[in-house]
Chain A
Amino acid sequence: MKQIILGMKGRLFRIGAGILLFAAAAIVGRLGLEIISAVLFAVTLAVSGYDVFISAAKGLFRRDLLDEKFLMSIASIGAMIIGEWSEGAAVMLFFLVGETFENISVRRSRTSIRALMEICPDEASVLIGDKEETVDAEDVEVGSVIVVRPGERVPIDSVVLSGSADTDTSALTGESLPRAVTVGDTVQSGTVIINGLLTMKTLRESGESAAARILSLVENAVDNKSKEEKFITKFSRIYTPAVVIAALIIAAALPIFKITTLTESVYRALIFLVISCPCALVISVPMAFFGGIGGAASRGILFKGGGCFERVAKADTVALDKTGTLTKGSFRVSEVTALGLDREELFYLAASAEYISNHPLSDAIRGLSDRAAAPSEGEEIAGEGVIATVDSRRVAVGNAALMQRVCATVPTPKGGEVFVAVDGVLSGIITLSDEVKPEAKAALEAMKSLGVSRSVMLSGDRRENAEAVAHELKVGAAYSELSPEDKYARLEELISESAGGVYYVGDGINDAPSLARADVGIAMGSVGQDSAIEAADLVIMSDNLMRIPEARVIARRTLSIAKQNIVFALAVKLLVMVLGALGLANMWLAVFADVGVAILAILNSMRTLLIARNSPKIIEKVNKA
């Protein structure tokens, strides 16, 4: 802020001088020294507007007669010519004040948005031999070894070679809980190391790393214009010529029809010129979206453009993928029954047999025993399980079909059971379940209170599992055992049934077509997935489902702020024009309608920066209501 003001020293000085001169001129005028007063007003005009005049002259040279500064110059000089000395000076002085404020607020909001974006260091400490060298992050080659110390940001996406640390990913994901990383873990650029020293190998170039990609997404988002922004662009092209023509008509017509004197009609026309710039709208509306996008980015929510705000705000249906989206996507043992042997032994045999499989369920079972080792021999039967020889015993781990194969009898499965048979006899049942994300239910409820009335789960998983999750989360409907093509087809049905639009929430793994097809494709936790980011309209950096209702709040409020500005600015200008034409407005009012409205609209737009931060509170309120 201080810097911004220092950068404006010249202008602030001119404002001060202008105000003093203006006051002096007014006092002298009261004392009856009219000529001196007029001269002082003229000096005020020159001090506050000389740069405007220069630029107006340039505009004239370019034959740009609709240049804002040219019109302002005409308005102020014209006022003086018809003897309105104080108003002529005031127009320019307040124009200067307004422009200065405008400039300060534009710079401020730029700085605050940029601060949100300063998540990536420019330099990296590269280990060459056993010496550290500070190198431009851009010049670090893939596979280099870098060192990051506590308090520093990781400059490039890397994998940890040695050391362990707690990390803060809030700049990327908006999540405040620290994440512990250790050898073998991948850390994205922009992550802050809280404690511990990490030696890491870089996986990408700095420009391809998470932070740089987020930045470029946000920057490009500003170029994808919303309906409101497009309207303003079109409107601003016709607004100025229309107002100038209206001014000319007023100046000429009123005296011709003997309604007013020429002086009066010129005065009324000059009022029109003062409000002929659509600046308030042209600045404040894009700024509202810029602020919305920037604020959302600070919570790990990336809007792909101003264009998708409306769709995010309006959708009335949400379709969600199950595994990895509503659930954590990692399986956990929820129940164990050991028959004829102890648990440890059961875990040991099952874990060892599972060594030969890569199935996600196998990963969970393998983790059950520390003693487990690769079996001497074994085979995997796709869709059923594994049969392996562990310590010269035949161990079969899998579903009911596999049990039949090894002649073990089993109870009717309820869902999620993995049976373990040893030498043809059922010896244990391990029930695995995918954990539902803790915030899933609250997120769905919040979406519902925000007007997403229909929720549908689309899952590739077995029916029992899908229905259990749907029931727990009170999802409106659940479709299970769907192939990616089935999901796409279901989604199309939902789209045709929905009036407001459909969100599709997925992790981007083989559902990119659905992400692209939905009115709003929401990719979760997938900064690394190119296809998902490409296809989605909204990218959520963390896997926290609460970010979806938050995004909706941000979109709604941003749109309403943009609309407020449009309505407010147009209404004030129209009112002043009508009053001006009728002779009920003076130039002071016109100056307010021009710069005053612009400043108010900009300040209003800057509120969008705060929405993101307040969105959890807003959701709480909505949920209570």
Chain B
Amino acid sequence: MKIKYTITGLDCPNCAAKLSRNMEGIEGIDSAKINFLTEKLTVETSLSEADAYTALSAAARAFDKSVKIEK
């Protein structure tokens, strides 16, 4: 399933790339692409929508408190 989120609070594209790698390390998340300029996170996942959101927000919070994900 493909899900799109808005992701805010990232400092730079480098951080965006790192966070997306962290997210791709989560089990069930096949790919997580962050576009720094459009502030969009596109995820391919086998998880349910709710589970994916929980996992992704946890990854974002662990990365930096100011990073927020919204559907």
A: residues with CB less than 8 A from B are 55, 64, 68, 99, 102-103, 106, 109-110, 113, 219, 222-223, 236, 277-279, 282-283, 286-287, 290
Q: Which of A103, A219, A279 contacts B38 (CB 8 A)?
A: A219
Q: Please give, as numbers and ranges, the residues of chain A lying within 8 Å of B39 by CB-CB distance.
A: 110
Q: Which residue of A lies closest to B37 (CB)?
A: A290
Point out which of B11, B13, B18, B36 has the most chain A C-beta atoms below 10 A from its C-beta: B13
B13 with A283: CB separation less than 8 A: yes
B37 with A279: CB separation less than 8 A: no
A222 with B38: CB separation less than 8 A: yes
Q: Which of B10-44 contact A (CB under 8 A)?
A: 11-14, 18, 33, 35-40
Knowing A222-B35, A223-B35 are in contact, say whether A103-B11 is a contact too (CB < 8 A). Answer: yes
Q: Please give, as numbers and ranges, the residues of chain B lying within 8 Å of A106 by CB-CB distance.
A: 37
Give bound CA distance, A223 to B16, whole Å: 14
B64 touches A (CB below 8 Å): yes
Q: Which of B13, B35, B40, B64 contacts A282 (CB 8 A)?
A: B13
Give bound CA distance, A99 to B13, whole Å: 13
Least distance between A274 CB and chain B CB atoms (Å) = 16
Q: Please give, as numbers and ranges, the residues of chain B lying within 8 Å of A68 by CB-CB distance.
A: 12, 14
Q: Please give, as numbers and ranges, the residues of chain B lying within 8 Å of A64 by CB-CB distance.
A: 18
List the 5 shortest-distance A-B pairs measured between CB atoms, nearest first: A290-B37, A282-B13, A219-B38, A222-B38, A282-B14
Give bound CA distance, A279 to B10, whole Å: 14
B: residues with CB less than 8 A from A are 11-14, 18, 33, 35-40, 64
A277 with B35: CB separation less than 8 A: no
Give bound CA distance, A102 to B40, whole Å: 19
A286 with B38: CB separation less than 8 A: no
B33 with A279: CB separation less than 8 A: no
Give bound CA distance, A282 to B11, whole Å: 12
Least distance between A242 CB and chain B CB atoms (Å) = 15
Least distance between A354 CB and chain B CB atoms (Å) = 52
Least distance between A114 CB and chain B CB atoms (Å) = 9
Q: Which residue of A lies closest to B42 (CB)?
A: A223
| 26 residue pairs bridging A and B, Cβ less than 8 Å apart | A55-B64, A68-B12, A68-B14, A102-B12, A103-B11, A106-B37, A110-B37, A113-B37, A219-B40, A222-B35, A222-B37, A223-B33, A223-B35, A236-B14, A277-B14, A278-B14, A279-B12, A279-B14, A282-B12, A282-B13, A282-B14, A283-B12, A283-B13, A283-B36, A286-B13, A290-B37
B37 with A287: CB separation less than 8 A: yes
Q: Which residue of A lies closest to B64 (CB)?
A: A55
Q: Which residue of B lies closest to A237 (CB)?
A: B17
Q: Please give, as numbers and ranges, the residues of chain B lying within 8 Å of A99 by CB-CB distance.
A: 11
Least distance between A67 CB and chain B CB atoms (Å) = 8
Point out which of B33, B35, B38, B40 has the most chain A C-beta atoms below 10 A from its C-beta: B38
Least distance between B37 CB and chain A CB atoms (Å) = 5
Task: Give 12 new A-B contacts, CB below 8 A, not counting A68-B14, A110-B37.
Answer: A64-B18, A99-B11, A102-B12, A103-B11, A110-B39, A113-B37, A219-B38, A222-B37, A277-B14, A282-B13, A283-B13, A287-B37
Q: Please give, as numbers and ranges, the residues of chain A lying within 8 Å of B36 by CB-CB distance.
A: 283, 286
Give bound CA distance, A219 to B6, whole Å: 12
Q: Which residue of B lies closest to A110 (CB)?
A: B37
Give bound CA distance, A403 to B35, whole Å: 65
Q: Which residue of A lies closest to B62 (CB)?
A: A58
Q: Please give, as numbers and ranges, the residues of chain A lying within 8 Å of B37 by CB-CB distance.
A: 106, 109-110, 113, 222, 286-287, 290
Give bound CA distance, A279 to B13, whole Å: 8
Give bound CA distance, A222 to B13, whole Å: 13
Give bound CA distance, A102 to B64, whole Å: 18
Q: Which residue of B lies closest to A55 (CB)?
A: B64
Q: Please give, as numbers and ranges, the residues of chain B lying within 8 Å of A290 by CB-CB distance.
A: 37-38
Q: Please give, as numbers and ranges, the residues of chain B lying within 8 Å of A236 by CB-CB distance.
A: 14
Q: Please give, as numbers and ranges, the residues of chain A lying within 8 Å of B38 by CB-CB distance.
A: 219, 222, 290
Q: Please give, as numbers and ranges, the residues of chain A lying within 8 Å of B13 by CB-CB distance.
A: 282-283, 286
Give bound CA distance, A236 to B13, whole Å: 11
Q: Which residue of A lies closest to B39 (CB)?
A: A110
Q: Please give, as numbers and ranges, the residues of chain A lying within 8 Å of B33 by CB-CB distance.
A: 223
Q: Please give, as numbers and ranges, the residues of chain B lying within 8 Å of A109 by CB-CB distance.
A: 37
Give bound CA distance, A99 to B11, whole Å: 8
Give bound CA distance, A456 to B17, whole Å: 45
Give bound CA distance, A236 to B16, whole Å: 13
Least distance between A597 CB and chain B CB atoms (Å) = 14
Give bound CA distance, A314 to B58, whole Å: 46
Give bound CA distance, A593 to B38, whole Å: 27
Q: Please give, as numbers and ranges, the residues of chain B lying within 8 Å of A103 by CB-CB distance.
A: 11
Give bound CA distance, A55 to B64, whole Å: 8
Least distance between A275 CB and chain B CB atoms (Å) = 14
Least distance between B64 CB and chain A CB atoms (Å) = 7
Q: Please give, as numbers and ranges, the residues of chain B lying within 8 Å of A286 by CB-CB distance.
A: 13, 36-37
Give bound CA distance, A102 to B12, whole Å: 9
Q: Which residue of A lies closest to B10 (CB)?
A: A106
Q: Please give, as numbers and ranges, the residues of chain B lying within 8 Å of A283 by CB-CB distance.
A: 12-13, 36
Q: Please give, as numbers and ranges, the residues of chain A lying within 8 Å of B11 by CB-CB distance.
A: 99, 103
Give bound CA distance, A110 to B14, whole Å: 17
Give bound CA distance, A279 to B36, whole Å: 13
Give bound CA distance, A55 to B14, whole Å: 14
Q: Please give, as numbers and ranges, the residues of chain B lying within 8 Å of A219 by CB-CB distance.
A: 35, 38, 40
